[in-house]
Homo-oligomer: A and B are copies of this chain.
Amino acid sequence: MDISFRKATEKDLEKIVALLADDMLGAARERYEYPLPESYKNAFNAIQSDPNNELIVACIDTEVVGVQQITFTPFLTYQGGWRATIEGVRTSASVRGEGIGTKLIQWAIQRAKERGCHLIQLTTDKQRRDAQRFYEQLGFQATHEGMKLKL
């Protein structure tokens, strides 16, 4: 199985939203319909025009089977260290269990190193019972509480 990674293009957007919507929590949050709500295109354009955000797709041949967003942020803490934050990691149900998620995160870790980050981080909903174990196997530690407030 030959898997490759690349930056997403606007042609991938429908497939990406389909992946986000085909998810335990995403099903209630997303609107996967035709035409796609304009808000997705606006966010896509904002991501693409920001050098500190990368939307990455995993492909088998030409088929998009996974997605993740990586944000690079300069902080003053840790003597002015950059961090990478992973968000919106999804893989296609058609390839689940084939290690695509692992390869996505490993790709993000490598990319974060290339960008000079000293830390890579993410938050995972406590309702996603398997996710924490998945990330722990990749070396992440649940050292922090992830706190959110809806506005």
Contact = CB atoms under 8 A, between A and B. Distances in A.
B43 A80 contact: yes
Interface string A30-42: 1100000101111
Interface in A113-151: 113, 117-126, 132, 135-136, 138-151
Nearest to A108: B149
Given A126-B145, A144-B124, A144-B126, A118 B77 contact: no
Interface of A: 16-17, 20, 26, 29-31, 37, 39-44, 46-47, 50, 52-53, 55, 69, 71, 73-82, 85, 87-88, 109, 112-113, 117-126, 132, 135-136, 138-151
Number of copies: 2
A145 B142 contact: yes
Contacts of A148: 119-121, 140-141, 143-144
Contact of A123 (B16, B69, B132, B145): B145
Contact of A119 (B17, B39, B76, B151): B151
A76 B69 CA distance: 9
Contacts of A132: 145, 147
Nearest to A139: B149
B55 A52 contact: no
Nearest to A144: B146
A73 B75 contact: no
A87 B79 contact: no
B52 A50 contact: yes
